[in-house]
Structure 1
Amino acid sequence: MIAPELRAILVCPSCHGDLQDDLENSKLECTGCGLRYPVENGIPVMLIDEAEHPQ
């Protein structure tokens, strides 16, 4: 999915929380604020405006 070197340094741009892989849905989910960032073609889209908000 995402290169391990890149994955190791990624944090949520909103709250700086850790990210958890959601491989089934091709997303990264913040364990802090719950925002879910899409991963497109192996590239995480770390834009707050593009993230899904928790319900």
Structure 2
Amino acid sequence: MNDRAASDGFEKGEKRVIDPDLLDILVCPMTRTALVHDADADELISEAAGLAYPIRDGIPVMLVEEARKL
């Protein structure tokens, strides 16, 4: 286990859970529609925009230019 994994409490490959209250207020910056958490890929999915926003070190990166096209 490296220092980063030790500091945030997660081992590589472990699935994170997004706080439901946070997920309720986060929206796609492009479409302003709700997001779905994909725990396997650790991404927030905007079905309306066809984009997947990464979650890095437990923090959602809500920048369109950082999103992956689905």
- TM-score for both structures, normalised by structure 1: 0.84
Aligned with 2:56 (options 28, 33, 40): 40
Letter in 1 for 2:50: G
Instruction: Indicate conservation of the 8 Å contact 2:53/2:68, yes or no.
Output: yes
Structure 2's unaligned 5+ residue stretches are: 1-16
Runs of 4+ aligned residues of structure 1 deviating over 6 Å after TM superposition are: none
Q: Secondary structure at the match of 2:68?
A: coil
Instruction: Indicate conservation of the 8 Å contact 1:2/1:43, yes or no.
Output: no
Structure 1's unaligned 5+ residue stretches are: none
Which structure has the larger Rg over C-alpha atoms? 2
State the identity %.
43
Q: Matched residue pairs, number?
A: 54
- Cα distance in 1 for residues equivalent to 2:20 and 2:33: 18
What is the alpha-carbon root mean square deviation over aligned residues? Answer: 1.1
